[in-house]
Amino acid sequence: MEVVFRRRALGSFLQRNPGIPKGTVFPRLVFELFLKTSGKKWGDHVLPCDDPLMVIGRECAEGDVVMLYNPHQPIHGQKPFLTLPFLEVFPFRNVDEVLFKIEEIGRRHFLILERAWSLLGREFADIKIEFGVPADAWTAEKQIWVGKILLADVIDADSWRVLYKGGHEDKQFYREGGDLGELGRKYKLAAGLTDRFGLPLQQIIVWTGSPRDDVSAFKEALLSPFEGKDLVVTYVALSAHKETIPAVITMNQHLADIPDSVIIDYVGMSNGAGGVLAANSTVPVINVPANAPGTDKPFPDDVWSSLRMPSQVPAMTVLSAKNAVLAALQILAMRNPRLYSMLRYEQESRLVNVVEI
């Protein structure tokens, strides 16, 4: 199968959806499936085009089917030119599991590349990749897929659209009549830029005033898959009220080791730590008051010592430990493609695309 993920409405998508303006941004990635063919044939079937759009039909009179459409014509009002039984296209019955896995793999990897390109000042608009299932990944007698999916493709400037200042740095430049020599220069540039892809070493410091403070909520929120080789989680228990100078020295030591950090300060009573840490560092500091309003802790008014900070003390306050961790991860995800992919994938699962037609 040929699988396409789109952030913008470009290419053949506009032919299928002529009412959608060119360049429309989709908050949720558009996922499309195409049947990979050659010579306009599929088995004994002669097709009007190669690589037709696939639409999965549920509970039709013929049972579950795969409907094929011309990808270069408007989809609204178009009838499928060929309808195939599932088992003629897929050698297994549990196709829903396969498609879910393909979509998950594709979405997560698109998002990693999207952030990697954005860090280089480019916009990742769409990608076309091919998936397949190896012969040993299904049981012929039961026709059940048993767990292997291959992303079988070369991922390069032939596979994607990457925009820079409104122009294409991909094969689309040539499709629109661009010079072949200039296309070669763009491909060489893309190869050089992708050599710079990588994951930064980052850190979240969870700071408490005492070893007795309960940090279980933070540990739970930071459990795998977030913590990894590129994200270090450090726990510090040191009172900035009672040991201000050692606290600043300790903070600077951790920040010297990993400068790309966010500090989450879990405090009770009067919050001195948040102010001290924010005033003596250039990294984001997020206060989480232990005695926040709405909790069963006494003295909810203590929250004001986290909210009312003096000038040049840019400490932020979040009442929920889990939301504080999420805020820290979002700050780091601006420079980390892996974290961005994880966070954005969950967000997009809740989003719905709405476009004007």
Q: Is the pLDDT of residue 45 over 80?
A: yes
Distance separating alpha carbons of residues 127 and 150, to the nearest angstrom: 16
Q: What is the reported pLDDT for 124?
A: 95
Q: Is the pLDDT of residue 20 over 80?
A: yes
One-letter amino acid at 225 equals P
Q: What is the reported pLDDT for 134?
A: 76
Which range is least confidently modeled, 60-64, 147-151, 157-161, 307-311? 60-64
The token pair at 205 is 């410091």
- 2-194 and 202-335 agree in CATH topology: no
Between 357 and 159, residue with greater pLDDT: 159
Q: What is the reported pLDDT for 218?
A: 92
Give CATH for domain 2-194: 3.30.470.20
Lay out the sheet containing 202-208: strands in order across: 231-237, 202-208, 261-267, 285-289, 315-317
Dihedrals φ, ψ of 4, to 5°?
-120, 135
* pLDDT tens column, 194-242: 899 999 999 999 999 888 888 999 999 988 677 778 999 999 999 998 8
Sign, CA torsion 320/325/330/334? positive
Computed over every residue of the chain, the mean pLDDT equals 87
- Are 260 and 201 in contact by the 8 Å Cβ rule? The answer is yes
* pLDDT tens column, 3-12: 999 999 999 9
Domain ranges of the chain: 2-194, 202-335
Per the confidence metrics, is the pTM higher than 0.85? yes
HEC assignment per residue over 214-283: CCHHHHHHCCCCCCECCEEEEEEECCCCCCHHHHHHHHHHHHHHCCCEEEEEEECCCCCHHHHHHHCCCC
Distance separating alpha carbons of residues 229 and 30, to the nearest angstrom: 31
Domain 202-335 has CATH 3.40.50.1970: yes
Dihedrals φ, ψ of 192, to 5°?
-65, -40
Tell me whether residue 6 is exposed, middle or buried, using C-beta atoms within 10 angstroms of its C-beta: 0 to 12, 13 to 18, 19 or more: buried
From the list 285, 282, 276, 303, the residue with the least C-alpha distance to 205 is 285
Residue corresponding to tokens 């979040």: 318
Distance separating alpha carbons of residues 294 and 292, to the nearest angstrom: 6
Distance separating alpha carbons of residues 202 and 258, to the nearest angstrom: 6
